[in-house]
A and B are shown apart, each in its own frame.
Chain A
Amino acid sequence: DTAVSQTPKYLVTQMGNDKSIKCEQNLGHDTMYWYKQDSKKFLKIMFSYNNKELIINETVPNRFSPKSPDKAHLNLHINSLELGDSAVYFCASSQDGGPANYGYTFGSGTRLTVV
């Protein structure tokens, strides 16, 4: 019954590798997001997709590429991983178009460690 699920929960990899993180939501939400949380717990939005289309792309290196095969999925692919990419990445989703009464629903996070 998990609303927003992301895999893997932990990812340890070497510099220079390419990796992907997957996210799926079963809420029927319109928009999905990727956030990066640094070691100080600050949340920074990276991407958002509305109905499979990219609608925001904050200043992130082009080594990061989101891919949305359908409205319920938003995956994050990272090329040539660097030490500074180590962080916790959160997927989220939101229902839009109605009152702003609802917050976003977040996944449980993927802790990426680049060694």
Chain B
Amino acid sequence: GNSVTQMEGPVTLSEEAFLTINCTYTATGYPSLFWYVQYPGEGLQLLLKATKADDKGSNKGFEATYRKETTSFHLEKGSVQVSDSAVYFCALRRGTGANNLFFGTGTRLTVIP
């Protein structure tokens, strides 16, 4: 079946630290992969995506590379800011129909000054 496994949180980092949030997936075929972010008190926003192997998605200093050989899509940022404190969700979308978006459990990131 299709599933996403995310690094357990919470993660606490100091400002300007390097961030990695691990995400691996199980899927048949070639899913599209996404990272969503949920800032405190807000809804989910699409942060970045990659639609085929070796693609790199990037936005707001965050990056993730679609690695088919390791079935991974780890989220990275070189220097986090306090404003990056949020919950991050890895997700995959498989196929062209409805009901095909599968979320990980979310990782809470707190960045302290």
Q: Which residues of A contact B (CB under 8 A)?
A: 30-31, 40-43, 45, 48, 50, 55-56, 90, 92, 94, 96-109
Contact status of A100 and B49, CB under 8 A, knowing A41-B87, A43-B106: no
Contact status of A100 and B106, CB under 8 A, knowing A90-B43, A109-B43: no
Q: Which of B31, B87, B89 contacts A100 (CB 8 A)?
A: B31
**Residues of A contacting B49 with CB < 8 Å?**
101, 103
A94 touches B101 (CB 8 A): yes
Chain B residue with minimal CB distance to A96?
A: B98
B46 touches A103 (CB 8 A): yes
**Residues of B contacting A55 with CB < 8 Å?**
98-99
CB of B93 closer than 8 Å to a CB of A = yes
**Residues of B contacting A98 with CB < 8 Å?**
96
Chain B residue with minimal CB distance to A107?
A: B43
